[in-house]
Amino acid sequence: MMRTSWAKGPVNLPPSAWALMATKHRWGALALAIMLGLTGSGYAAENSGCAAAKKVDRSEALGSTFEGEIPAACIGNEAKLVLPRVRGKRGVSTVVKDAAKPKQENSVGVAVSGKEIHPELGFVHRLYRPERPSGETLVLLHGSGGDESTLLPLAQQIAPNATLLAVRGRVVQDGVTRWYRRVTPVRFDQNDIRAEADAFAIFLRAASKAYGFDLMRTTFVGYSNGANLVAALSLLHPGLVQRAALLRSMPVLDKPPVADLAAANFLVVAGKNDGLYARYAPALEKVLARNGAHVIAHMIPAGHGLDDEDARLVGEWLAGAATVSMK
């Protein structure tokens, strides 16, 4: 049984429908998706249990984006899961450095034209400027399997007048776009985390100059794998991240450095029913707070996917930060 949360999407799907999509070509699957209401702008399917993970894999025919992490309850039986088909050799990752031309997204303001994008900055990204800019900038980091468009609907709802810098992770591991290599669902390549955090720090400083936004008035919104990179970035490059909303995140550095985060503010939102990351959220909060950061933490009745409560909490937190800034 698959359920997409936060946005309109499928509540359940009969086995016969899955069978039809598996046997028809891609356009047939898309047509069926439209009839069944599967083309809503949901963020990620909640992976509660091994069966849910299997059904999420089948949705690839629709081009949907899912987090793709394996629930904690399934980690011991990972080899028994029916994993998505991937291209290339298992375990091999590549770094994507070419920038794609941004498409017009009417729902998120005006996309900066391809001629104004700076592909030499090193990360595929899109930039959106609102008609009436507030002066705030949101940097969006997707979860595993996502891309630079994944968090745009959420950002447009919580901060309609903010400039949006949506970025794609450079690492592709087992056919899945990520921000750094992983060893298991909860163990990660430490050298790769540090290397990608360093590269992203360079990108951010260059992008702020190229596009004319102030990093001191920038808020990072990261989901899962993307949120984990933001947390690591904060510790490895203190002072670069002033505000960050970390959604379904966990600490990924085995030996986090001591950092001065006295000026940093974090919102950490965990899902009570998130079988993969919920248990690690308190540890992340402690790491940030131990280094002086101001941390607001929420545990909401949700799984790994995002929903309305996430949008409400992040929106209120951003509004409060804006009020303090004005004062």
- The residue among 218 and 2 whose pLDDT is bigger is 218
pLDDT tens sequence across 154-183: 999 999 999 999 999 999 999 999 999 999
Confidence bin at 116 (pLDDT 50/70/90): confident
Q: What mean pLDDT is reported for the chain?
A: 75
CA distance 233 to 202: 11
Confidence bin at 118 (pLDDT 50/70/90): confident
Residue intervals in the chain for CATH 3.40.50.1820: 93-326
pLDDT of residue 323: 52
CA distance 112 to 114: 7
- pLDDT value at 38 more than 50: no
CA distance 212 to 217: 12
Confidence bin at 5 (pLDDT 50/70/90): very low
**How much is the pTM?**
0.69
- pLDDT value at 51 more than 80: no
Percent of the chain residues past pLDDT 70, beyond the cut: 64
Confidence bin at 243 (pLDDT 50/70/90): very high
Q: Lowest-pLDDT range, 40-54, 199-213, 286-300?
A: 40-54
pLDDT of residue 107: 42
For the segment(s) 93-326, the CATH number from 3.40.50.300, 3.40.50.1820, 3.30.930.10, 2.40.340.10 is: 3.40.50.1820
- pLDDT value at 15 more than 80: no
Confidence bin at 119 (pLDDT 50/70/90): confident
- pLDDT value at 322 more than 70: no
CA distance 253 to 244: 18
- In DSSP notation, 63-89 reads T-----PPPGGGGGGGGGS-PPP-SSS
pLDDT tens sequence across 65-108: 223 332 333 323 222 222 222 233 334 444 444 434 333 333 45
Confidence bin at 218 (pLDDT 50/70/90): very high
Q: Phi-psi bin for 88: left (phi > 0), alpha (psi -120 to 50), beta? A: left
pLDDT of residue 228: 98
- The residue among 323 and 27 whose pLDDT is bigger is 323
Mean pLDDT for 208-226 is 96
Confidence bin at 114 (pLDDT 50/70/90): low
In 3D space, the residue among 157, 94, 100, 154 whose CA is nearest the CA of residue 123 turns out to be 100
Residue 35: how many other CB atoms lie within 10 Å: 10
- With vertex at residue 243, the alpha carbon angle to CA 111 and CA 183, rounded to the nearest 5 degrees, is 85
CA distance 164 to 130: 8
Mean pLDDT for 237-250 is 98
pLDDT of residue 180: 98
pLDDT of residue 247: 98
Mean pLDDT for 286-294 is 98
pLDDT of residue 52: 34
pLDDT of residue 115: 63
- pLDDT value at 113 more than 50: yes
Confidence bin at 109 (pLDDT 50/70/90): low
Strands 243-247 and 218-223: parallel
